[in-house]
Amino acid sequence: MKRNNYYINIIASIWTIIFLTYCHSERNKNLTNKFDKVDSLFVKFNSTSPGCVIGIIYKGDLIFEKGYGMANVENQIPNSPDKLFDIASTSKQFTAFSILLLEEQGKLSIEDKIRKYIPELPECYDPVLIKHLLTHTSGIRDHYALMDLIGFKEVSSEEENWVNHNYNENNVFGILLKQKELNFAPGTYYQYCNSGFYLTGKIIERISGMSLREFYKQQLFEPLKMENTFLYDDSTYYNKNRTMGYSWSENGYRRNLIKYETYGDGQIMTNVYDMYLWDKNFYKNELGQKKQSLINKAYTRGELNNGQTVDYSLGGLEVSKYKGLTVIDRIGGTQGICSDIVRFPDQYFTVICLSNYQDLSPDPWRASLKIADIFLDNYIVKDTEEKTELNKGEISISQSFIDKITGSYFNEISKEYRTIEFKDGKLKHHNRTLTPIDSNSIVIADWLTTIRFKEVNGNWNMLWQSFTYPVETYTKKRRIELDNSNLELYLGKYYCPELDLECQINKKNAKLYLIDSNNEKFDIEELFENTFKSKYNGQDAIIEFEKNKNSEIIILRMNTDWIKNLKFEKIAT
């Protein structure tokens, strides 16, 4: 009997081994198929082009790492996982974590006013708290946008770069010190702002007594053994593993090198292997007091004064949803480079995409999501896409409702306007078809945007929500068209003391036009009462005029994507 049991155990063990071997083989075959699909996304990046490096992490293991295209096209050096990439704004999470570590040490609170640590900032910054900087809700104007308006540019060719390094400490801090107003009251709105993280970096340096580079090294990179990650504070630095950044021009690939001399908002150099170590820390924290509460706080979405949350978290990350799954990411990009780290924490799955090609297609965010689709198919909510087209063709809205909602809408905070029109039998927004999902709601499917309409005191508001961002309210306004007799009111020269800029409003053939500081002329288009559209130094601008009690124009306010309410005072002639 014992001998029979012995043989039975032997046979059972053999079948177990065969079964496990088969399962392992099938698993490997399944993974190979998935890896082949990943390869297919980047097949066009080869020995004649820049490209990217992809890392895939699952349950704590780096299961895939591969380079596509060239790290250096001229010298035919291929991209590989050990290559160093400038990750641009993906770096912002390191600045945010540094602040959270200082808070954990009791050296500051994110509820502190920023002027407590940078008292020389202008008085208009007084209501701004550290948490506003981390979540892009401060209202501070972006220094890159301000410098672009002046005429400073990101220099995009290597030859020009070494003599035109405008983003230095004197220029950047100097321009912020001159500001007299914020874009909006802190905590009332979300708007992306590099200046917030630049100032956060200054706070870290002042509290710690260390350079930002040294603080990162001691408090973040050394504890996690991220030996190939550092603050890139010397544009002349040479490393054989460093990638070159490229963009596309009509003459082919163009090499880009941008010289920044300010930090906190970017300028981290790293590779896939180190970002794998960084990703592991989110599941078992080894920084500071090694408490998981640090990670939980880093994942906490920012909150507006009205209780709405914003995608940007206290950890410098975007926290949102994708096809029913929680997703954490932090995209970055500038001249010649782009990157993203996309994490699905509940599935222990992360995609790292580091690119030395500004025009990578699909871009790092979409590439990472395509890879997630391949690996997380069993987790994804299958009907998510269909929900954006719910009952398409079955929901009808009345012509009377269409007549009420079509027209132009304006947001008083963002200074943006949007137009809803009925064309070719369909509702459209800037030529994109809108799909009704109920009697007062429509969607733009490929924008992940929902638009709802609400009548308030006889006028219509458009409630606009993209992805998981806060709802934005646009108010319907009547478009105007000025006649020649009304134009004289706006003519004259205007001066902005904050940027030392002038502009002039003239007229020709019963039409207004603007002359900027470079003496370039731009047409002015009427939008609403005292609100117009034009350009300044090549940037699209919404221009608003303010009158005194005598109905005389005394102030011109200029609004661009990242600058709001910039004041130009009318010069007496």
Classified as helix, coil or strand, 478 is coil
Statement: 85-375 belongs to CATH 3.40.47.10: no
End-to-end CA distance of the chain: 115
Nearest of 503, 509, 479 to residue 491 by alpha carbon: 503
Q: Which amino acid is at 447?
A: W
User: Token pair 């509702």 is at which residue?
Assistant: 427
Q: What percent of the chain has pLDDT over 90?
A: 73
Q: What percent of the chain has pLDDT over 70?
A: 88
Q: CB within 8 A of 164, min separation 6: which ones? A: 153, 155
Return mean pLDDT, the chain.
Answer: 89
Classified as helix, coil or strand, 568 is strand
User: Token pair 């638009």 is at which residue?
Assistant: 451
**Residue 101 vs residues 128, 225, 266: alpha-carbon distances, Å:** 20, 18, 19
Quote the CA–CA distance of 466 and 426 in Å, as a whole number: 21
Specify the pLDDT at position 394.
Answer: 55
Q: Taking residues 396-412, what's their average pLDDT?
A: 91
* Position 546 confidence tier, pLDDT thresholds 50, 70, 90: very high
471: number of Cβ within 10 Å? 12
Tokens encoding 427: 């509702």
What are the residue boundaries of the structural domains of the chain, listed by start?
Answer: 1-41, 85-375, 387-477, 484-570
Specify the pLDDT at position 151.
Answer: 83
Q: Which of 121-135, 478-492, 501-515 comes out lowest in average pLDDT?
A: 478-492
Between 237 and 539, where is the model more confident? Answer: 539
Overall residue count recorded for the chain in this entry: 573
Specify the pLDDT at position 385.
Answer: 46
CATH class of the domain at 484-570: mainly beta
Would you say residue 556 has pLDDT above 90? yes
Tell me how far the alpha carbon of residue 388 is from its chain's centroid: 23
Quote the CA–CA distance of 310 and 186 in Å, as a whole number: 13
* Position 482 confidence tier, pLDDT thresholds 50, 70, 90: confident
Tokens encoding 545: 């005029």
Specify the pLDDT at position 160.
Answer: 47
**Domains 85-375 and 387-477 are alike in CATH topology:** no
Specify the pLDDT at position 27.
Answer: 56
**Do residues 341 and 330 make contact, with C-beta atoms less than 8 angstroms apart?**
yes
- In this structure, the strands spanning 309-313 and 349-355 are unpaired
- In this structure, the strands spanning 521-523 and 553-559 are unpaired
**Do residues 257 and 336 make contact, with C-beta atoms less than 8 angstroms apart?**
yes
* Position 206 confidence tier, pLDDT thresholds 50, 70, 90: very high
Q: What angle do CA 66, 336, 80 make, to 5 degrees?
A: 15
Question: Across the strands, what pairs with 460?
Answer: 455
Q: Which of 61-65, 180-184, 327-331, 391-395 comes out lowest in average pLDDT?
A: 391-395
Specify the pLDDT at position 396.
Answer: 75
Quote the CA–CA distance of 69 and 342 in Å, as a whole number: 21
**Do residues 395 and 463 make contact, with C-beta atoms less than 8 angstroms apart?**
no
- Tens of pLDDT, residues 259-310: 777 899 999 999 999 999 999 999 999 999 999 999 999 999 999 999 999 9
Quote the CA–CA distance of 101 and 210 in Å, as a whole number: 14
Tokens encoding 394: 């079955």
**Residue 288 vs residues 104, 202, 222, 489, 496: alpha-carbon distances, Å:** 8, 20, 12, 61, 46
Would you say residue 20 has pLDDT above 90? no
Specify the pLDDT at position 387.
Answer: 45
Would you say residue 162 has pLDDT above 60? no
- In this structure, the strands spanning 539-547 and 531-536 are antiparallel
According to DSSP, residue 242 is labeled: B
What dihedral angle (degrees, nearest 10) is formed by the CA atoms of 68, 74, 77, 82? Answer: -70
Quote the CA–CA distance of 297 and 92 in Å, as a whole number: 15
106: number of Cβ within 10 Å? 7
Nearest of 242, 217, 221, 269 to residue 91 by alpha carbon: 269
Q: What angle do CA 459, 463, 467 make, to 5 degrees?
A: 170
CATH class of the domain at 387-477: mainly beta
* Position 486 confidence tier, pLDDT thresholds 50, 70, 90: confident
Specify the pLDDT at position 14.
Answer: 65
Quote the CA–CA distance of 330 and 345 in Å, as a whole number: 14
Quote the CA–CA distance of 209 and 113 in Å, as a whole number: 19
Quote the CA–CA distance of 98 and 215 in Å, as a whole number: 8
Quote the CA–CA distance of 554 and 556 in Å, as a whole number: 7
- Tens of pLDDT, residues 122-156: 999 999 999 999 999 999 999 999 999 998 765 44
Would you say residue 163 has pLDDT above 70? no
**Residue 202 vs residues 129, 198, 317: alpha-carbon distances, Å:** 14, 7, 20
Task: List alpha helices for 42-156, DSSP H.
Answer: 92-104, 130-134, 143-150
